[in-house]
Structure formats: structure tokens, C-alpha cells
Chains A and B, each alone.
Chain A
Amino acid sequence: AQTVTQSQPEMSVQEAETVTLSCTYDTSESDYYLFWYKQPPSRQMILVIRQEAYKQQNATENRFSVNFQKAAKSFSLKISDSQLGDAAMYFCAYRSARRAGNMLTFGGGTRLMVKP
């Protein structure tokens, strides 16, 4: 079974600064996807960014980028130019690319606070 670990229960960042959220995972599979989801107080799960394991290039989406280290099974999220609207819970998630169902395994989450 796969596991996802987020070792930082809370992080804070000054507005306009950069912050990195950590995630490690454990799997015996070679073909999978990794995701970062944002959950604001509204509870809605919002996909921030995804990474295909077969791609060596790190994914980027505007101010959000990842550092994917497949051998180390590490998948961190970097948020640049932090904004007040970035304050939320962030979840790292794993999904097998082979198994039917597209089910996700989530980490425990990191609460990000953004200081004005």
C-alpha cells in the first residue's frame, strides 16, 4: 500500500515571500501521479498542480512549482510571491497510473498561513 507523509503540520510565510511545503511518499510502483490540492475554509478541494512520475521535468503552474525527486520519493511544493488568498490547507496526494478507479492517497495536510 502507498503512504504519503507531510511532515509540516503548519507553515507561515510573509506576503510576497516564497514558501516550500514538503511531501514524501512510499510506493513500489514506477508509474504514478502526484498532486497538490488546496483546501480553503470553504472545504472545496482545488487541484493546484500535478506531476507524472515518468516526466523528469518539474511541473509549474504560474506561481506554483514542484521539486520532484523520484529516487528520494520526495515531492515538494514551492509557492512564489505568496498572496493572502494562498492561505489554506494543502494536501499532497498519490495516484497509481495502473490501477482502475483513479483513487487518491492523501497526506495529512499542511496548514499555510500568510502574514500581511
Chain B
Amino acid sequence: NAGVTQTPKFQVLKTGQSMTLQCAQDMNHEYMSWYRQDPGMGLRLIHYSVGAGITDQGEVPNGYNVSRSTTEDFPLRLLSAAPSQTSVYFCASSYGRGGNYNEQFFGPGTRLTVL
């Protein structure tokens, strides 16, 4: 298993550009989520999904779109990049409910710089 993979690892954008951060998992996890980590801070939830076709907003959703057309993939779209979106982005996944504790698996992160 590759686990949770994210591409690209690094990206530099200009203000106003759009792009998609890719996230994929091969563990058949129902739940997936996106977090951002600003310098010296903890991770904050952007969007999450509890299954294909189902997404919802987290703490800091503005400026980002998500969709979940398959169980494996959960892309994060920046519509019009702003310097405030300079951050490290983490994707995570886990099994859904089932009465048991289900560990979150994190991807390696994407470092995004918006100039």
C-alpha cells in the first residue's frame, strides 16, 4: 500500500492563479480531509468528506473547493490564490464508523507559496 499520497510536494503560484492539490489513498478509507498548517501553528481543517459524493466545510473553507467523485481521490482546488493561502497542506484519511477507533493516516504534505 502506498498509503496517502499528495502531489505536488512543492508549488509556487502567483496571486490570482488557480490550481488543484491532489490527494489519493489506496486503503479504501471512507473518510478524507484537508488541513492547512501555517508557520508555527497547528493544523486547521479546511474541508472533509465522509464518502464519495459527500463533502462538508471545516474551520477555514473560504477560497477552497473540494469534490469526492471516487473513494480514492479527494482533490483540493484553490480558485484564485492569495498570499494568505501560503501554507503547508495535509490530506488525511481513515476508516469510517464501525464502533472501533479508526486512526487518521496523513499524507506527506504540499508546501504552497503564493507570491
A residues within 8 Å of B by Cβ? Answer: 4, 6, 9, 33, 42-45, 47, 50, 52, 91, 93, 100-109
Contacts and interface: CB of A to CB of B under 8 A. Distances in A.
Interface string B30-66: 0101010000111111001110000010100000000
7 A-B pairs closest in CB distance = A106-B42, A45-B106, A102-B94, A43-B109, A106-B43, A101-B48, A100-B50
Given A45-B90, A101-B33, A102-B94, A107 B56 contact: no
Interface residues of B, number: 28
B50 A43 contact: no
Residue of B42, B94, B102, B104 contacting most chain A CB atoms (<10 Å) = B42
Interface string B50-84: 10000010100000000000000000000000000
18 contacts: A43-B109, A44-B109, A45-B90, A45-B106, A52-B101, A91-B43, A93-B42, A100-B31, A100-B97, A101-B31, A102-B31, A102-B102, A103-B33, A103-B48, A104-B43, A104-B92, A108-B42, A109-B42
Contacts of A42: 108
A108 B44 CA distance: 10
Nearest to A6: B42
Nearest to B103: A47
- Grouping DSSP codes into helix (H, G, I), strand (E, B) and loop, the A interface class, with mixed when no group exceeds half, is loop
A103 B43 CA distance: 11
A91 B33 CA distance: 18
A44 B9 CA distance: 12
A57 to B, nearest CB: 15
A100 B33 CA distance: 12
Contacts of B92: 45, 104
Contacts of B109: 43-44
A101 B56 contact: yes
A109 B41 contact: yes
A109 B42 CA distance: 6
A45 B42 CA distance: 11
